[in-house]
Every structure is written in structure tokens, then in C-alpha cells.
Amino acid sequence: MLHTALRNVFAHRGRLVMTALAIMLGVAFVFGTLVFGDTVTHALRGASAKNLKDVAVSVQATSQRNSDSEADDGRSTALTDELADRVRALPGVTSVHPTVNGTATLAAKDGRPLNADNSWQNLAANYSPDAPGSDRDSRFPVSAGRGPTAGGELALDRRTAEKAGYAIGDSVRFATTGPALTKKLVGTVDTDDPRVTAGGSLALFDTGTAQQLFLQAGRFDELAVGSAPGTDNQELTGRIRALLPTEGITVTSGAQLAHEQAERIAESTKALTRMLLAFAGIALFVGAFVIANTFTMLIAQRSRETALLRAVGASRRQVVRAVLAEAGLLGLGASAAGIGLGIGIATALRPLLNASGAGLPDGPLVISPDALVRSLLVGVGVTVLAAWLPSRRAAKVAPVEALTTVDQTPPRRGLVLRNSLGVLLTGLGVLVLLYVSTQTNGADSNLKAAGLGSVLTLTGMIVIAPLLSRPLIRLAGAVTTRFFGVSGKLAEENALRNPRRTAATASALMIGLTLITGLSVTGSSMNAALKAAAVAGLTADYQVSNTGSGGIDPALGTKVAEVPGVAESVPLASSTLGARGEFATLTGADPQRLGRVSDLKFSSGSLADLGPGKVALSDKLAKATGLAKGDTFQGTVGYGHGEKALTVVGVYQQTRAVGSALGTMDEVLPYANGGRLESILVKAASGRHPNGLDQDIRAALGNSPLLQVQNQEQLTKAQSGEIGAMLNMMYGLLGMTVVIAVFGVVNTLAMSVFERTREIGLLRAIGLGTRGVRQMVRLESVVISLFGAALGIGTGIFLAWACGSLSKSSLPQYEIVLPWARLGLFLLLSLAIGVLAAVWPARRAARLNILRAINAA
């Protein structure tokens, strides 16, 4: 029987090519994802280990803000020059690098901001020589020029300098928290920090300047301690810990720090790898339909051969084993090819994800034996499992029954049982999703119900597809018959000849289109809701904000108000409000001025009622806390402050511009982030066209790379841009399932043509020309593809509608929006798939020799 399995593999090479391609693509996706995950993790760990290779002990300080400090309420730590000197004097210590950390967003030489949307990657630090009198900082090897030594100098990492177009001696414009600053570039350095190598930037200043910009004079964020060879670093860590204060300082050995970073890196990459593996699983699931369909047809076409084997003594078990051995050999060969393709996928994934802002570091490919074994097991396992049911079906056919015909009509009892099960699963799924559609929040229980309902509905649609095929294909057949005559009618009858086969072929395409349609509808609906939410209740022409976390200097609000053409400038501050166990964002503003740039809908009270000790609540927060106009409650404003009595003077419809609660500027600003503003709303003067006013505002604010001035259109684009990028990535990942489905259609048609060789010969003999034959096969392909598209698009719309309601609690503007143009594109794509998939089978059918075809067994 093993010899029979080997002979069958090589005897039907052409028929198995498409199946092998489906397996290969699925395995390639799995293997590529595993290699990609291992590669990224190894690169991040390598970069972190390289950064810590000379660090024996790390002394890290907790940042704090002290209003009694000499600086203007700046950030402070417990690490001082005196503590650094005490550590430096310990036996075994060879170096101490006092570090100051911050962020600085640069402007390129042409004025454009660099990486402003990911300002957390724009690192800044102090350049601290290894020893007094030295100009070398071993953490940042100089590639050109020298390190900064004076307040007017800075150094950049080499990649950033090249990307921004700077040369040594140029003036570099940058910003840390507000207005732009300018310093002279005196050198470039190399760094292995993964945040920088993945697209960020690094700016270095002398220690005094860095403290002035990011901390306080004489204060540090970290001490990186180096030790002499042979030193017991664990013992040294203990001695340093005993030497330093216990409050606000953490002492960790370099080895422990490297281990902790490695654990964080491994955890951070798991989510991305899991997501990619989920899409790989979908591709393999679709591939299983192609495999099962292929083996079902092959076994039906080899039924005479199977009958002969049974007649000469082969048992049912031997027949099953022979088919499974054939599937295993096919799966093994296709999986091996998929592993080769997977290396290419792993190589391409990093630049593709980095193009959408993922920020992944460079590094060599890591191909582990575990990934190889798992990919082979998945490929072979899926192939064998998909072939198991067809093999069982083949073994149950009696020899005499199999010898009487080549293609048995599926048993009616089997179809009735399948249809009943499909109706039951679909009905249960629809009922669960109808319940989900009545819910308005994304609680875990609702999300689990949505997932269960979606799986039940999609599974039920797959099972019930043979039942649905008859009315839908009849409908399509009426069109093909009307326009293409006999060829159209024959295509309809061929598609209906075996409902199971047609349904299995269409289901592969249906799964991909269900997911793509669901994503499209959900994405379009979220896009529309976010755009509406971004400017809801906002009549201002511009919003000024900080792309980083530093906020805006309150003095800039006055500068904006003085710009010619600005009618109103309204600063907004932001803090937190605790009320009856709920925590929400509290926005502070001048009530009278806020009314000129916003259109808040109050159900009770008004802006004019705000004052000291008085707040207005959004309808959402009022409902959560049970508070209404006139109620007084004990609330907390900001963190670390005691409770105080606050009175509710109004309830309004929540908007993104204002948030969950509203108070006066005097009430909120003292508790805001460093006493800084959150944003500034700007209204253009009457008769002044707002276009161009943004440039004047930027100029008044010093053209800081951190500050952005956005009009309403830009605000809506900023809200929806991430969804668009995410959808494009999802489309690319799900595109693999559609490609596999195309192979399934091609395979089914090619094998169907072989199965109907004699029939096609007879059609040719009674006058159907080669053009008619090609048209018949092509129309059959189109009908099957459109059947799958109709099921996929319809199911995807229903799933998106039912599950979309869960967004309404966080996004009240959410309403279902059908992207008609995109749905039409999916239909056209399905039509194109049908036409292209039929090219080879139709050509093969048309070239059959009439006499040989008629004499075919």
C-alpha cells in the first residue's frame, strides 16, 4: 500500500500542484512568522545586551517633581554629584557614568520635523567622558568630530544626521518641551539602542546642558557603574546598595538588568507574533478546504482503482492508510518548499511593519530547529487531517458499487444531516450575535459572546453552503443563460452537479472575504465615528498641541492670542477627577471664552455656571456616578491631593475636545502635568480665511518641531490615520487566504475537466466549439467565485453590524457605514478571480481530442 501511495503521488503530479501550493503558502506564513518573532527578539536582546556590556551595576533614580526646588518645578531625583563621587571611590569601581535622560525632537535641515509622531523614540542624553580630562564616552563611540563640551553644542547619532541632512558645523534646531532651540553640531556617534536603530533619533549634550534641559543642576537619572576584571559584581551591587539612600533609588546588577530587559523584550514581541500566527492559522484553515476538496475528487476519480484494491484483498484500514500516506508525502514536500518561502516572508515582514511605524530593529535572521519542526508538523498535520474524511469515505464504498460509476452523487441522508447541522449552528450564531447587537460596551463577557457568535455563524455558513448553493447558483445561472446561452446553462448545471464540491470550493473564498469585508465595514464605521468625534462640539478653526508628553507653556497661550487674524485663543489644561469611585479627565478653561470656540450641548446647566468648587460633568460620567445638577460630592483633583467638596452645576454631551468633566482654569491648572497646558483652541477672525493662519501661529511659537497646529480636517485625519494603516496591514495578511482560495478554484476546475473528459468530448461531437467549451468552464468558475463572494460579503457585513455596537460606550458617534466602493471592488475582484482561475482549465478542456475524450473511461 505504501508503494501504491508513492505511485499515486507521482501519477497525479499535475492535479496535486495547486494543493501543494496551498499547503506551501500556509506553512510559509507559519514558518515566516516564527522566524520573524525569533529574529526580532534576538535583535532586541542583542542590542540591549550590547548597551549593558560594560555596566556592572545600574543605580536608577525615581523621578519626582518638587515645587520647592530651585528650578521652576522641574523634574528632580535623589542622585547627586556627591553620591556619584561616593560610588566612584569604592574598591573595584573603574568608571561611573552619571546619566541624564530626556527626549528631543529634531527638525531636519529643510525644516520638517523628524519622527514627531513617535517622539518617545527621539532620545536625548548627556555625553559624559569616561574619566576626567578624557573626551571619550564609551557608551557612544564617536564616528566623526567630537563629543559636546559646551552649552551651545550637541552631537547626533550618525543615522539621524544623515537622514536630516546635517553636517558637522551646521546649526541644528530641536525642541524638548516647547519653543525651538538651536545648537551647533560638533560630532556624530554610533549607538545600538533599539529605539534609535528602529527609526528614532539620539541627541547628546554636555552634562550641564542636559541637566538644564531635562532635570536639575547636579541631579542624575542613573549611574552606570563599571568594574575591574575579576570583581564580584553581585558583591559590588550589595556594597553600593548599602552606601546609598533607600528612598527613591534602585540598585541592580548589570546581569540582573540584562535578564529583566530580555524578559520584557520577549513579552513585548509575543503579542505581535501571536497576531501574525492567527492570520497564518486562517490561511491554513482555508488551505484545508482546498486539500479536502482535492482528495475528495481524487478519490472519486480513483474509485475503480480503489475497488480493484479491495477486490484483491486490501482492507478498509489499508485504503485509509494509503490515502493518508499520500497526503503525508504531499504535505511533507509542500511544507519543505513552504519553509524556503517562509524565509523570504520573515525577511520582508520587518521593513513592511517598520513602514507603518512599528520601529523594529535590524538583525540577522534567526532560524531555530523548533520553528522548523513546528512548521513541518503543522503542514503535514493539516494535510493529513484534511485528507482523513475523504479517505474514510473511500474506504466505506463497496467494491461492486465503486466499479459501477466514477462519480457518485452524495448520499441524500448525508446532505440532510449536514444541512440540519448547518441550520442549527447558523441559527445559534445569529441568536448570539443578535444579543451582542443590543449591548453597548466592550466588557469581556460581551467580547467573548461576540467571538463565539462569529465562530458559530461562520462555521454554520460553511456547513450550510451546499444548501445555499442551489438557489444562489440558479439565480446566477439565469443571468449566464440569458447572456451566454447554452454555455451559460451548462456552467450552471456543472456547478450544481456536486453541491458539496461547489460549496467547499466557494467556502475557501468565502472565509477570506468574510474577514476582509468585516474589517472593511468595521474600519469604515470607526473612521466615520472618529472623524465625527474629533471635531464634535468644536467650532475652533485650529488646535495647538504638543506631540510629546511635555504639554505647552501657559505663556504661549498669550503669544497665540496676539497673532494677527486670531479672534479667540482658548488655553485648555487637563488633570484627573475622582468622583464616587470613578476616575475621569478634568479639563480646565475660561468658561466664557470656551463658549466662543465650542458648541457643547448641555442637558442641564451651562458654561456660565462654572466657578470655584463647581464642575460640569459629561452625560457618561454623570450616569456612571449617579450625580446630577445641584449635587455636591467629595472629589479629588490630580494625584496625591486630598478630597474637597465639589458641586455639579451642569451635565453636557461628552466630546473628545473637552473630555469627561469641565472646570475653570484656576481649578485645574495647578494640578495639570507640570502646570502646563494640554492644548490651545484657536478661532480665526471674522472675514479672515483660516488658510495660512497656521503658519503664522507656528512662527509665533518659535517653529518648534514638537508643537503642531491642526485644522479640523487634519484633526480628523489624525484620528483615522492609524485605523487606515492597520486595515492595510490586515488586508495584506488576509490576502494570503484569497490567494489560497484562488488555487482551490483552479484545482477544482482542472480536476472537474478531467472528470468530465468524456462528457466534453460528446459536447464537442454534437457541435459545441472550442470557444463554447472555454466559455462554459470560465462561466462555471465565475459562478462559483461569485457564490463564495456573495456568502463572504453578506456574512462579513452581518458580523460587523452585530459586533460594532460594542463600540458605542466609548464612541457614541459609532454607526454602521457600508463602504460601497470597496464592497463593489471585492465583487469585481471575485469576478476577476473566477476569470483568471479558469484560464488553464478552460484551455485544457478546449484542447481535448474529441475521439480520445469520447473513448475515455
pLDDT value of residue 499: 85
CB 495 within 8 A of CB 780: yes
Question: What is the mean pLDDT of the segment spanning 754-776?
Answer: 83
* Residue 338 C-beta-side C-alpha neighbours within 13 Å: 36
Range among 328-332, 624-628, 738-742 with highest mean pLDDT value: 624-628
pLDDT value of residue 403: 52
C-alpha 13/C-alpha 448 separation (Å) is 44
The single-letter code of the amino acid at 160 is: T
pLDDT tens for 526-546 read 888 877 777 777 788 888 988
pLDDT value of residue 47: 67
Whether residue 688 is predicted with pLDDT greater than 50 in this model: the reply is: yes
* Residue among 651, 580, 645, 639 nearest 609 (CA): 651
* Residue among 183, 223, 218 nearest 203 (CA): 183
CA separation (Å) from 781 to 111, 257, 842? 56, 60, 10
Whether residue 165 is predicted with pLDDT greater than 50 in this model: the reply is: yes
pLDDT value of residue 454: 92
User: pLDDT tier at 65 (50, 70, 90 boundaries)?
Assistant: low
Please identify which residue in the block is written with the cell numbers 479491495: 310
User: Residue 810 — φ and ψ, nearest 5°?
Assistant: -95, -20
Cell numbers placing 274: 501571536
User: pLDDT tier at 840 (50, 70, 90 boundaries)?
Assistant: confident
Strand locations in 658-706, DSSP E? 661-664, 679-684
Question: What is the mean pLDDT of the segment spanning 113-127?
Answer: 85
pLDDT value of residue 799: 93
pLDDT value of residue 174: 93
pLDDT value of residue 49: 67
CB 710 within 8 A of CB 695: no
* Residue 154 C-beta-side C-alpha neighbours within 13 Å: 29
pLDDT value of residue 571: 93
CB 798 within 8 A of CB 426: no
**Percent with pLDDT over 90 in the chain:** 24
Strand locations in 49-197, DSSP E? 57-61, 64-65, 75-76, 79-80, 93-99, 101-103, 105-106, 122-127, 142-145, 153-157, 171-175, 181-189
Question: What is the mean pLDDT of the segment spanning 407-435?
Answer: 80
> What residues have CB less than 8 Å from 789, skipping those under 6 apart?
509, 510, 513, 826, 827, 830
Question: Could you give the angle at the alpha carbon of 706 between the alpha carbons of 353 and 552, nearest 5°?
Answer: 130
Tell me the whole-structure pTM to 2 decimals.
0.73
Q: For residues 235 and 10, which has the higher predicted lDDT (pLDDT)?
A: 235
Question: What is the mean pLDDT of the segment spanning 662-689?
Answer: 86
pLDDT tens for 266-293 read 676 777 778 778 888 887 888 787 777 7
Question: What is the mean pLDDT of the segment spanning 717-721?
Answer: 67
pLDDT value of residue 68: 43
pLDDT value of residue 125: 94
Between 135-144, 463-472, 544-553, 655-664, the lowest mean confidence (pLDDT) is in 544-553
pLDDT tens for 247-269 read 888 888 888 887 777 777 667 67
pLDDT value of residue 839: 87
Whether residue 793 is predicted with pLDDT greater than 90 in this model: the reply is: yes
pLDDT tens for 133-153 read 778 888 899 999 999 999 999
Cell numbers placing 319: 485504503
User: pLDDT tier at 166 (50, 70, 90 boundaries)?
Assistant: very high
pLDDT tens for 477-522 read 898 898 888 888 988 888 888 888 888 888 888 888 998 899 889 8
User: pLDDT tier at 406 (50, 70, 90 boundaries)?
Assistant: very low
* Residue 14 C-beta-side C-alpha neighbours within 13 Å: 8
- The average confidence (pLDDT) of the chain is 83
Between 119-128, 688-697, 784-793, the lowest mean confidence (pLDDT) is in 688-697
C-alpha 104/C-alpha 355 separation (Å) is 22
Between 171-180, 303-312, 590-599, the lowest mean confidence (pLDDT) is in 303-312
pLDDT value of residue 508: 81
Question: What is the mean pLDDT of the segment spanning 371-376?
Answer: 90
Please, is 767 exposed, middle or buried when counting C-beta atoms within 10 Å of its C-beta (0-12, 13-18, 19+)? exposed
User: pLDDT tier at 365 (50, 70, 90 boundaries)?
Assistant: confident
pLDDT value of residue 71: 39
